[in-house]
Amino acid sequence: MDDVSPARRAAYEVLLRVFEQDAYADRTFRSAAQGLDERERAFAQRLAYGAVQRVRTLDHAIETLGRRPVRKLDPPVRASLRLGAYQLGYTDTAPHAAVNESVELVRRARIERAVPFTNAVMRRLAAGIGPLLQSLPDGPLKESYPDWIHEVFVRVLGEDGALALMHAMNEPLETVVRLVGGEPPPDAEATDVPGAYRVERVDDALVAGGRIWPQSRGSQLAGLCVDSHDGERVLDLCAAPGGKTGQLVGEVTAVEIDPARARELRANLATMGRNDVTVVEADGTALPAELDGFDRALVDAPCSGLGVLAQRPDLRWRATPLPDLQLALLRSAAERVRPGGTILYSVCTLNPDECEAVVDASGLRVLPRGEEWPAFAHPSRPEFLLTLPHVHGTSGFFVARLRSPR
């Protein structure tokens, strides 16, 4: 592929694997971008993540202007057209470069019969995608979201709020780190969440040295709201990758069901200098009998992830609400907390079915947080916290603090 730039080649590989092999965009990108310099890597990531995010809109443009269903195209043709359409519609790439390299990708995939078709469609896209995108009405097709996610956002925020949220999560959010030890990085800007600093970029050397940890303000807020102290026993369910675990104070037991993620959790905690945390590989809904009598618990439950769609470009196409699992985890934690102890329930989603509905179904007493953190108070249920990407500039997190009834 000498006639295709390394950045476009990497982005094409991501598109092919995400949509044809159900691979994860971030993992695929790491392997596809190996060997790229910093500038190429940044361009490749913008192309790959942008095209994955915008694929609903891109497919609409390809089908409208190319006059053939995308699902009937050969996978390499589909990937190359999506990549080319993204460049033409959303970047300042020269049209001839986008056209020529998309055609070359198909040629190098040895689908010679599709080369004329690809060339023709790319030329139609070059001429027509701009006006087509401008003509689309505001909504999930134009912003490239599944209809069901748009409907969830409208339930929470109304039509205008949903549109603002979708806009915000199609753009990069702020870059924030948590100060683990020592002084903040020289360029760091303090934020409204204690210990959270806004930075231009994450310094990998400072992460490896245990000084900082990449973690959004929304995530750090959830960890802070556990409010654990020295001398307390703290249970952390579904703990990997460990950002919030590293915030917890006291005698911490972190539970993770997946062995690979448990290894990642141990490695991350070691990097943060938290060798005092006990990691247990177990199912959070069926905990070992000896895990009992905790003062506090953190249930950072698996969820649809509708608050982190900006960071995970493919998640909008694979997101699944998990209210039954979330309720089971919350009840499991409540059973292992001493009478009068507290449970912090958090999810990185804005879906009411996974947020306030789960808390309501648990029957646990809510300890209001809105007065302590008024900037993050839930818009309709102020006893809870809800960070919103379009309002707060950070990932979307729902946070509830609850009292053990036993």
Spatial neighbors of 298 by CB under 8 A, at least 6 apart, are 222, 223, 226, 234, 235, 236, 237, 244, 245, 248, 343, 344, 346
Check residue 364 and report its DSSP letter: P
Marked catalytic residue, from 225, 303, 348, 355:
348
Is 159 a member of any domain? no
Residue 1 lies in a domain: no
Measure CA of the first residue to CA of the last residue in the chain; give whole Å: 65
Q: What is the DSSP string of 298-354?
A: EEE-----TT-TTT-TTGGGT----HHHHHHHHHHHHHTEEEEEEEEEEES---GGG
CA angle 117, 123, 124 (to 5 degrees): 90
Which residues lie across from 253 on neighbouring strands? 235, 278
Q: Is 200 inside a domain boundary? A: no
Q: Which domain holds residue 278?
A: 218-403
| Inside any domain, residue 149 | no
Domain boundary among 106, 136, 166: 136
Residues 124, 272, single domain; the answer is no
User: Would you say residue 342 lies in a domain?
Assistant: yes
Give the CATH number, domain containing residue 22. Answer: 1.10.940.10
**Residue 244 and residue 354 share a domain:** yes
- Which pLDDT value is given to residue 406? 63
251 and 394 share one domain: yes
What would the pLDDT profile of 99-120 be if each residue is shown by its tens digit?
999 999 999 999 999 999 999 9
Is 348 one of the catalytic residues?
A: yes
89 with 223, same domain: the answer is no
Q: How far apart are alpha carbons 81 and 71 in whole angstroms? A: 12
Q: Which residues contact 110 (CB under 8 A, 6 or more apart)?
A: none
On whether both 127 and 223 belong to a single domain, the answer is: no
Is 203 part of any domain? Answer: no
The answer to whether residues 251 and 392 belong to one domain is: yes
- What CATH number is given to the structural domain containing 336? 3.40.50.150
Based on the fold, state whether residues 390 and 252 are members of the same structural domain.
Answer: yes
Asked whether residue 165 is domain-assigned, the answer is no
Report how many domains make up the chain.
Answer: 2
pLDDT in the model for residue 1: 42
pLDDT tens string, the chain, 406 residues long: the values are 457 899 999 999 999 999 999 999 999 999 999 999 999 999 999 999 999 999 999 999 999 999 999 999 999 999 999 999 999 999 999 999 999 999 999 999 999 999 999 999 999 999 999 999 999 999 999 999 999 999 999 999 999 999 999 999 999 999 999 999 999 999 999 999 999 999 999 999 999 999 999 999 999 999 999 999 999 999 999 999 999 999 999 999 999 999 999 999 999 999 999 999 999 999 999 999 999 999 999 999 999 999 999 999 999 999 999 999 999 999 999 999 999 999 999 999 999 999 999 999 999 999 999 999 999 999 999 999 999 999 999 999 999 999 988 6
CB 355, CB 321: distance < 8 Å: no
Residue 2 burial by Cβ neighbours in a 10 Å radius (0-12, 13-18, 19+): exposed
Beta bridge partners of 343: 297, 402
Q: Are 352 and 234 in contact (CB under 8 A)?
A: no
Paired tokens of 124? 């139609």
210 is a domain residue: no
* Last residue in a domain, options 110, 136, 162: 136
- Among 45, 54, 48, 44, residue whose Cα is nearest residue 89: 54
What pLDDT score was predicted for residue 405? 80
User: Is the separation of the CB atoms in 396 and 389 below 8 Å?
Assistant: yes
- Give me the amino acid identity at 240: A
pTM of the entire structure? Answer: 0.94
The two tokens of residue 59 are 């497919």
pLDDT digits (tens, 9 = 90+) for 82-91: 999 999 999 9
d(CA 167, CA 153): 12
> How many Å apart are CA 297 and CA 332, to the nearest integer?
10
- 398, 355 Cβ separation under 8 angstroms: yes
Q: Are residues 263 and 385 in the same domain?
A: yes
Which of these three, 115, 136, 157, is where a domain ends? 136
- Say yes or no: 227 and 127 in one domain: no
DSSP 72: G
